[in-house]
C-alpha cells in the first residue's frame, strides 16, 4: 500500500491503466459463453510461453499448439527451416488464426536476478528506473529497446505468419514477471543467478518487461497482427503476474493463465470473423 502511494507506485498504476489493454488490440465484447467457438481454429506457435496454452487446450480439436522447443528440434536454426518443420508437423493446415509467442524470456535473463553490473533503464518521467542516484548505469530506453530487437529477430515471426496466408494474425505476449522473490529462489536447478546479488529491483523487472513488450507490440503491428497481453485480474496493480496465475516457476503462466489467455484470443478470433 505504501508503494501504491509513492510516486513510482502511481506511475506504475498509470502504466497499468495505459497498458491494461495493449495498443493494437481490438476491444472484445464480453462473451457470455466461456466455450471456445468450435468453428474457429487457432494455431499457436511459440516457445515455452505456449505451454500454458497447450495445457488449457487439451481436448479441444480446434486448437493446436506447436512448441518449437518441444515439438520441433531446437537444432533447427533459421526461419525457413523452422517454417518447413512447422508445416510438416502441423495438423491444422488452414487455421482461422495463427497466434505466435516466440521466445519472450530475455527480460528474465537480463533482469530477474540482479545483474553483476547493476543498471537502470531510461524513463520518460523519472529519468531512469530505478531512479538516478541509485549508482546504476543508465541504459537509455531506446538503446535497451534495440537490444531486445537484436535478441528477437523480426524476420522469424513474419515468416511463420506468411506460412499461413489466410489466417488472422495474433501475437501473444510473454507472461509478466512474478513479484515474489521467494518464487524465484525455489526455481529448478537451484538459486537463480548469483546468490550474492539477490533479486533485481521490482521496478527494473517491470521496466524490462515493459520494454520487451514495446518491442513485441511494435513487431506485431508491423506484422499486421493483434497483440495480446495479460491484463487484470491476471496482473496485479503494479503489473506483476498474480499468484494464482503463475506456474511453479517465476517466468511462466500456469494452466489457469493459459485458459484465460486462450479464451480471450478465441473470443477475439470469433469477434473478428
Partner 1 sequence: MKHPYIGLPDRQFWKKEPGIQEPSKLDPVSHVPFKISQTDRIVTAGSCFAQHVAGFMSASGFNHHITEPAHPMIGGALAKKHNYGMFSARYGNIYTARQLKQLLDRAYGRFTPLQQVWESSHGDRVVDPFRPQIQPRGFLSEAELLAEQAQHFRCVRDAIEQMDVFVFTLGLTEAWVDDRDGAVFPIAPGVVGGRFDADLVSFRNFDETETYDDLKSALKFIQTLNPDVKIILTVSPVPLNATYEDQHVLVSTTWSKSVLRIAAQKAVQQISECCYFPSYEIITSPYVRGRYFADDCREVTEEGVEHVMQLFMSHFANLQDTPQKTDDHDTRRHITLQHEQKMQERVDILCDEAAIDNQ
Q: Would you tell me how many other CB atoms lie within 10 Å of the CB of residue 181?
A: 16
Is the separation of the CB atoms in 208 and 219 below 8 Å?
no
For residue 113, the minimal CB distance to partner 1 (Å) is 7
Q: Would you tell me how many other CB atoms lie within 10 Å of the CB of residue 134?
A: 15
For residue 120, the minimal CB distance to partner 1 (Å) is 9
Kindly tell me the sign of the dihedral angle through the C-alpha atoms of 195, 199, 204, 206: positive
What is the contact surface with partner 1 in residues (CB under 8 A)? 47-48, 51-52, 54-55, 67, 69-70, 105, 108-110, 112-113, 115-117, 119, 122-128, 131-132, 137-143, 145-147, 150, 187-189, 192-194, 247-252
For residue 105, the minimal CB distance to partner 1 (Å) is 5
Indicate the residue among 147 and 263 with the shorter CB distance to partner 1: 147
Q: What is the residue whose three cell numbers read 487439451?
A: 58
Indicate the residue among 119 and 170 with the shorter CB distance to partner 1: 119
Strands ordered across the beta sheet of 127-129: 127-129, 119-123, 137-139
For residue 44, the minimal CB distance to partner 1 (Å) is 13
Indicate the residue among 97 and 138 with the shorter CB distance to partner 1: 138
Helices 154-162/79-89 angle, 10° precision = 30
Indicate the residue among 90 and 112 with the shorter CB distance to partner 1: 112
Helices and strands of the chain, counted as H and E runs: 10, 8
For residue 66, the minimal CB distance to partner 1 (Å) is 12
Amino acid at each position: 500500500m505504501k508503494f501504491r502511494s509513492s510516486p513510482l507506485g502511481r506511475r506504475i498504476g498509470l502504466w497499468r491503466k495505459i497498458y491494461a489493454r495493449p495498443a493494437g488490440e481490438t476491444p472484445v465484447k464480453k462473451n457470455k459463453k466461456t466455450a471456445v467457438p468450435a468453428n474457429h481454429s487457432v494455431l499457436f506457435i511459440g516457445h515455452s510461453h505456449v505451454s500454458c496454452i497447450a495445457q488449457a487446450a487439451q481436448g479441444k480439436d480446434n486448437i493446436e499448439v506447436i512448441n518449437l522447443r518441444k515439438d520441433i528440434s531446437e537444432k533447427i536454426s533459421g526461419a525457413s527451416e523452422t517454417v518447413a518443420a512447422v508445416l510438416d508437423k502441423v495438423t491444422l493446415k488452414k487455421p482461422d488464426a495463427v497466434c505466435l509467442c516466440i521466445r519472450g524470456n530475455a527480460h528474465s535473463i537480463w533482469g530477474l536476478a540482479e545483474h553483476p553490473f547493476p543498471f537502470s533503464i531510461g524513463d520518460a518521467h523519472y529519468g531512469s528506473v530505478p531512479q538516478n542516484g541509485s549508482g546504476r548505469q543508465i541504459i537509455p530506453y531506446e538503446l535497451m529497446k534495440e537490444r531486445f530487437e537484436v535478441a528477437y529477430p523480426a524476420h522469424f515471426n513474419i515468416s511463420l505468419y506468411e506460412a499461413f496466408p489466410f489466417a488472422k494474425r495474433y501475437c501473444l505476449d510473454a507472461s509478466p514477471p512474478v513479484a515474489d522473490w521467494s518464487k524465484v529462489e525455489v526455481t529448478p536447478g537451484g538459486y537463480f543467478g548469483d546468490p550474492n546479488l539477490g533479486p533485481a529491483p521490482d521496478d527494473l523487472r517491470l521496466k524490462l518487461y515493459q520494454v520487451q513488450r514495446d518491442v513485441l507490440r511494435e513487431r506485431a503491428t508491423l506484422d499486421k497482427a493483434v497483440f495480446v497481453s495479460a491484463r487484470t485480474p491476471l496482473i496485479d496493480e503494479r503489473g506483476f503476474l498474480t499468484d494464482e496465475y503463475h506456474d511453479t516457476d517465476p517466468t511462466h503462466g500456469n494452466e489457469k493463465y493459459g485458459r484465460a489467455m486462450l479464451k480471450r484470443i478465441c473470443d477475439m478470433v470469433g469477434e473478428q470473423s
